[in-house]
Structure 1
Amino acid sequence: MINTIFAEAVDEICSELETAVSKGKNFNDTLQGILQGIVKKHKRIIFNGDNYSAEWTKEAEKRGLPNLRNTPDTLEVIEKDKKYGALFEKYGVLTKEEFKSRNDVYHHAYEMTIAMEANCAITIAKTLVIPAALEYQGVLAETIQKVGSISKKITMLESKKLLVSLVSNVEEALAAVSELEASVASGKSAKKTIASMVKLREAIDALEGIIPKDKWPLPTYAEMMFMM
């Protein structure tokens, strides 16, 4: 798409130059004027800071620039705004039918990829992380019960808080798995599926901070960061 838009821009510049020269105007002066006009017209897209920062997001909004943050939103804009399809057709890149077909393929590929990632997340959570969490939950509960039975003076308040936190996080993970499974089964919205994956990710991250390393079934963040 970028190459096609670039081709259109070059085509417009060439047409303007050819028209000006045919009317006896100076080539260099005309070119200078065209370039100055381009800079004035598109200066708002130039940002010399960090284009990934929140600062640029706010600045882009002030300048009225679009900020499409995901594939579905981008494909929707491309499909609804007829100028994109017309641009491809004008330069013989794609017909209207081919342009629509390509977008349909992109939509389908994106949805299939998200569904695949979601199913992987569900499998990892159900077969690895949650079983490990439940195992540690049982061990912790049994330990609290046995130690507490020695004497009534042993309250183990902090240990009980840890168990409550663990149980809560396990329940959150299970609920997130159920929500994600329902989203994948519906096959309606990749956005909703991603939102459900984020919830599951947050619950799993919380469990990683509680479950002992020897019981954690996956590489930890620390191991991945410092692994040689």
Structure 2
Amino acid sequence: MKPLVLICSKEADFYLVFGHILEEAGFASELAGCVDEAVQLASERGPHAVVLDCQPADAAWDAVCGRLKGDPRSRALPVIALIAPGAENQHLGLLKAGIDEIFVRPFAPAKLLTYLRAKLSRAPTGSDGEDDPSLICGDLKIRLASHKVRWSGQQLHLGPIEFNLLRYLVENRGKVCSRDELIRAAWSDNHHVDTRTVDVHVSRLRKTMKTVSPRNVIRTIRSAGYALDEHDQ
């Protein structure tokens, strides 16, 4: 499977040209027209990197980077900014927001491709050698790009919300995760999600996991939230 690069840009022509360059170099690409779409696709599609097309006339890109780096579903992804020459203020803001790398236009596409390959070569991959980073906790294995989950040696079929909840719990194993944290992790638009909805989806997740093993590894912490028990893996 080709590594997926998410391109956040409002310029369709830029995406077509840059996407073609990526395709020729062995990458797949997908367009996100705004930061909300980028965060949502980062969760749903499991990209390996995000490229921000930072046009000077657009909104503050440091806020876009901060949103990606502040969201549990996308904060571990390499985020790369392409900026105009002389944009010193933009450069500083992106650095403060946690950007991984900045390329100043004009630049040779080969430099960006080299950076992407170097980043991906250091990323964890699945044990079968596919380019699909995994989270492993005992008998639980989550493959982030393909959204596949194995529990006690068997495949689990999870919806996107349950997948995001489980991923966040595994990433924060042994810690208590509040319902508000889980809402931010699992829903792209959390304005209309209440804590009771979290309970319903956690219940579904537990039920699905129990079809494979009777162990209940997701503990309810009264008045606090939920935790994945490392010792029961």
- Establish whether TM, by shorter chain, passes 0.5: no
Radius of gyration: which is bigger? 1
Q: Which has the higher strand share?
A: 2
